[in-house]
Amino acid sequence: MQTIAEFLRNAAKYGDLGKAALRWQAKEEGCDESILMARMHDRLSVMRDSAKAGLSPTLRSVSGMVGGQAAKMFVPEEINRFGLLGKAGAYAMSIAEYNACMGKIVAAPTAGSCGILPGALLAAQEQDGFTDDDLVMALFTAAGIGRIIALQATISGAEGGCQAECGAAAAMAAAALVQLYGGTPEASTHASAFALMNMLGLVCDPVHGLVEVPCVYRNVGGVSQALSAAQMALSGVKSPIPCDEVILAMKDVGDALPASLRETGEGGCAACRSVCGKK
């Protein structure tokens, strides 16, 4: 599958985006779908483990810049204040912090954006009782979206800015959420388009060259974009621009970004006086 339009045609044939992605992958690898399902269940298990491990209040990265902050968000009064978003944000931060502390995570689609997709899905499961099989099929939907973004544009921050990492992850999570909550394949692609267009131009500016600041906090922002995009699409709001075109727009924006804003640590937050020693 090379385009969102092709993905939708396959979804019409097989029932939904998740099933279309699963069928495509099984054919590509020449294996039974049950093998791929088991593999994705393993990925889900790693996601869940990293979400819980990242909630430790004593967690610290080697640099000391991040760690222990997700625990502050996960206390009952904070989780309950913003409902699903509160828990999704806490999980997104916990996984991103765990990655910064050298924990085992699932790149979704990258390590720098690893908290967005699982943060959204794990929170949705805990709030609304979805099964692990439900989440696995949503992950196949997300994987299909991520693959197409990678093929048509990029998922590399060094190549396209953080819009290519956290933006792509938000688009993947938005599509997965729409499927999880019973939306149509078309609605999933509208959600992806909304999430990606709302994150166009996001730069990659890691402080001290580490995937910590502002990366960890952008995972929380990315999951909020995914939830908002899914809400719009599930409500029947349609993107006025096809998702394939938004992906190409993201590539054009990434190509236009100066080198200082593409993971070199020379611009944006990385150049702020408080973190780079300037007076």
Q: Specify the 3-state DSSP secondary structure of 144.
A: helix
pTM summary value: 0.97
Q: Would you state the pLDDT for residue 37?
A: 98
What six digits make up the tokens of 111? 């390590």
DSSP 103: -
Cβ neighbors of 56 (< 8 A, separation 6 or more) are 68, 71
Phi/psi at 262 (5° precision): -130, 70
Q: Specify the 3-state DSSP secondary structure of 200.
A: coil
C-alpha 22, offset from chain centre:
19
Q: Would you state the pLDDT for residue 278?
A: 61
Helix (H) or strand (E) holding 216: helix 215-234
Q: Would you state the pLDDT for residue 276?
A: 82
Cβ neighbors of 27 (< 8 A, separation 6 or more) are none
- Measured between alpha carbons, how far is 113 from 12 in angstroms, rounded to an integer? 30
Give the closest residue to 40 by CA, choosing from 228, 184, 176, 223. 176
The answer to whether residues 48 and 42 touch, using CB atoms and an 8 Å cutoff, is no
Domain 4-270 classification at class level: mainly alpha
Cβ neighbors of 65 (< 8 A, separation 6 or more) are 100, 207, 208, 210, 212, 213
Q: ∠183-185-190 over CA atoms, to 5°?
A: 85
Gyration radius from the chain CA atoms: 18
Q: ∠14-18-21 over CA atoms, to 5°?
A: 80
DSSP 239: -
pLDDT less than 70: residues of the chain: 277-279
Q: Would you state the pLDDT for residue 277?
A: 67
Residue with the two structure tokens 């994987």: 143
Q: Would you state the pLDDT for residue 85?
A: 96
- Measured between alpha carbons, how far is 69 from 219 in angstroms, rounded to an integer? 13
The answer to whether residues 123 and 130 touch, using CB atoms and an 8 Å cutoff, is no
Q: Would you state the pLDDT for residue 1?
A: 87
